[in-house]
Amino acid sequence: MRQSDRPAAVHVRGLSKTYGRVHAVRDLDLDVGHGEVFAILGPNGAGKSTTIEILEGNRARDSGHVRVLGEDPGTAGRSWRARVGIVLQEASDAGMLTVSETVKMFTNCYGNARVPGEVLDLVGLGSVSGSRVRTLSGGQRRRLDVALGIIGRPELLFLDEPTTGFDPEARRQFWDLIRLLAADGTTILLTTHYLEEAAALADRVAVVAGGRVVAVDSPTRLTGHVSSAATVRWVQGGEVHVETTEHPTDLVRRHSEDGAELAELTITRPTLEDAYLHLIGLA
């Protein structure tokens, strides 16, 4: 079967979930292809984590059609769960166990688990395999969470806010790990607050606001949801000038025809952040 002929790894139509009078998810539609890195962006309370929990089979939905790897996560059994890896927001805490002992313990849950030493090398923890989990740094603990999430060779990996609290260096190291897993064919669905993370990792991005998907596209093409006009800024005669135009080169040429110096000249186009703020109603 060709990749294009395969059913989506995640297929959602009309998903809804309420908590009392609060509509966490409203009639949400979503498709994630096999082998895709798919990011869900949205502000706090947009419904990202609730959606992920429903797709993982860890929360019941009120209504809607949901298929993950061909099965309904609300009723799927143990064999389906063995095909799915989950990395929650919370860091793991294995008490007095070492890193190696923790991973070995989880291998007993799977029939086709990775070799513990190999998975620790994959996530960059081979050098601290004998350390107790409670002594690890925040970034190392997060890598251990990923090790536990991929120990069973999942077809689909859920990452819920995977780099929250990371410093920039640790975040970029984590990105390298995600790229490595994606290159190995793992389908990855992640939620994140970080626009640069979605831009760096995702093949496509869904922007969620008010419990609904308001846009789905590649990070680059999402900027098409706002005006493509460039903003030209310069200083001339001691005054700051700002103009918006679809043809910035012509504008600069016109203003400099008489030999005038356009000091501090900058030309900027809409960014992913501009598109995101526009889509969630903050711009």
Helix (H) / strand (E) containing 54:
helix 48-55
Check pLDDT > 50 for residue 2. no
CA-to-CA dists, residue 176 to 33, 97, 171, 197, angstroms: 21, 27, 9, 11
Is the domain of 76 the same as that of 99? no
Domains in the chain: how many in total?
A: 3
Q: Which residues pair with 22 in a beta bridge?
A: 19
Of the CA atoms within 13 Å of residue 236, those in its CB half-sphere come to 15
Is the domain of 36 the same as that of 161? yes
Is the domain of 160 the same as that of 57? yes
Residue 232 lies in a domain: yes
CA R_g for the chain: 23
Domain that holds residue 211: 1-83+154-165+184-219
Residue 272 lies in a domain: yes
Residue 41 lies in a domain: yes
pTM for the whole structure: 0.80
Is the domain of 25 the same as that of 135? no
* Dihedrals phi, psi of 37, to nearest 5 degrees: -100, 115
Instruction: Please give the Cα distance from 15 to 229 (Å, whole number).
Output: 36
Model confidence pLDDT, tens digit, residues 105-147: 888 888 788 899 998 988 889 999 999 998 988 888 888 888 8
Residue 138 lies in a domain: yes
Instruction: Please give the Cα distance from 132 to 136 (Å, whole number).
Output: 7
Is the domain of 73 the same as that of 161? yes
Model confidence pLDDT, tens digit, residues 201-260: 999 999 999 899 999 999 888 877 766 678 888 888 788 888 888 888 888 888 887 777
CA-to-CA dists, residue 278 to 93, 219, 270, angstroms: 39, 14, 11
Q: Can you tell me the mean pLDDT for 43-52?
A: 90
